[in-house]
Amino acid sequence: MKKLFLYFSFVVAAFMLAGCSVNTQNAFSKEPKVLQPLTVKYGNYVFPVPSNFSLKQDLSMIYENEGIVRAYLVYVGKASTSKLLYFFDKYMPKNGWKKELFVAGEETTVAYSRDRQLIVIKIKQGLGGTVLRILLTAK
C-alpha cells in the first residue's frame, strides 16, 4: 500500500513538473481587490482557495483509499502572484498549516505542512489568468 502511495506521489509530481497546459480563457476577467477564502476539504486536507478560482475537474486527479487522500488539483482564476502568496500566508496557518518552502521564478512554488501532510502549490501567471496547481501528498 505504501508503494502505491509513493508511486502515485511521483506520478502527480511528474505532472506538476511537466506543467500541463491549461486554458485560462474562462478565468474571471478582473482581479478582485481582496481575495476571499473558500474552504476546500479533501479527506483530512482542509485548506483555503481564493473564492474567485474554479476547479478544472478535467485536469485534476483525486485518489482516495481507506480514508487516505492524494490529489493533484488545478484551479484557474485571476490574481497576482504577490496577492496569492499573501493570501496563502494569511489563511493557511488558520487551518494549522506551516510554511515549509518558497521558490520564486517563472512559476512560484510554495509548500505547507501539517503533521505528516504536505500541500505544494505552484502559481503560474498567463495572459488569460492565473493557474494554481495544488498537490496534496504526505511528507
Residue labelled with grid coordinates 495572459 = 127
- The C-alpha torsion from 116 through 59 and 63 to 125, rounded to 10°, is 0
Tell me: the pLDDT tens digits for 62-86?
Answer: 999 988 999 999 999 999 999 999 9
84-133 tens-digit pLDDT: 999 999 999 999 999 999 999 899 999 999 999 999 999 999 988 999 99
pLDDT of res. 2: 54
Q: What is the pLDDT of residues 9-57, one digit of tens each?
A: 544 444 544 455 555 444 445 778 889 999 999 999 999 999 999 999 9
Amino acid 48: pLDDT: 98
Would you say 53 and 88 are in contact if contact means Cβ atoms under 8 Å apart? no
Cβ neighbours of residue 68 closer than 8 Å, sequence gap 6 or more: 5, 43
Cell of 8: 502515485
Tell me: pLDDT of 3 over 90: no
Q: Using only the alpha carbons of the chain, give its radius of gyration.
A: 14
